[in-house]
Copies of this chain bind each other. A is one copy, B any other.
């Protein structure tokens, strides 16, 4: 999962540092041992939905759109992950099993990440149905969920 790792690194870097060009981002990644071309970054930045705004210093700054809730409610990774018990594909959809009572909050969390790949979610008490958008492969949704919930697949595999 070389790409996923890079996507995560990019998200982290552009939210934490002032990135003003693909080239600058490329260098930061290199420093972390992640090598790729500027062309790949162009594609990756699009994929994660990164935008660009003028900064006050006459340059430009790349940014990740705020995920409405995640920041203000600050649901951290460590609180979200342990409640997820299983993840299975079914009929082009995904079913996530959680600890009892945790489906809604987790689905809420996923929804608020506003990923393009996910059309929506429906949550019961301990089960979430994730509905991918048309044209999105099963595999893409898995990648997407891994981004929304880093470590997810690790987590599941261990159960």
Contact = CB atoms under 8 A, between A and B. Distances in A.
A46 interface: yes
B53 A65 contact: yes
Contact of A116 (B50, B56, B65, B116): B56
Contacts of A46: 54, 58
Number of copies: 2
A49 B52 CA distance: 10
Interface residues of A, number: 12
A51 B54 contact: yes
A8 to B, nearest CB: 18
A119 to B, nearest CB: 12
A40 to B, nearest CB: 15
Interface string A49-75: 111111010100000010000000000
A149 to B, nearest CB: 22
A53 B63 CA distance: 9
A56 B54 CA distance: 22
A139 B37 CA distance: 45
Nearest to A53: B51
A65 B55 CA distance: 12
Contacts of A116: 56
